[in-house]
Structure 1
Amino acid sequence: MFDPKKLEQVAKQIHDAMPQPVKELGTDMESRVRQAIQGQLTKLDVVSREEFDVQTQVLLRTRQKLTELEAKLAEMEKKLNQDTDA
């Protein structure tokens, strides 16, 4: 759901911004920051970029199919009207 590389990058930036004595806490602090961020991100009602792109493509195909069906229906209605008028 979330890009682990981006999460790693954010955790690294936070870690790098800390003073040297805090950096020495290293692994434990980085792990806790990562867990906190990941915990907060999972609470959000969001989708990954990949999921969004997939759904966008599905929507575009659905829209295209709907347009084609509307055109066919209009053609059939026109033909039906011509047959009833004759």
Structure 2
Amino acid sequence: MFKDILLKLAVGGVAVPMLAAELGLSPDQLRERLRMMEHMGYIAGGAACTPVDTPPLCACCSGCICSSQELPARYLLTDKGRRLIRS
């Protein structure tokens, strides 16, 4: 499952609810996996998305409907994460 998540993150940003649905998880289940993956060193939290004036309200993920006050965090693959998707 970690490799599936990493592959999706490597392609580009996607909102947690959309990614969770694609993976057959609830958003809370996906967030827990993201926390575990960050703790294990596969991903690193990046800067929050940059707000834009028109929907989607952030420029880093497709399908985002966040308000400018609640822009999601971004996750970036680490070298360890990139090695896992190449294996």
TM-score (norm 2): 0.24
Higher strand share: 2
Higher helix share: 1
Scaled by the length of structure 1, what TM-score is found?
0.24
Larger CA Rg, structure 1 vs 2: 1
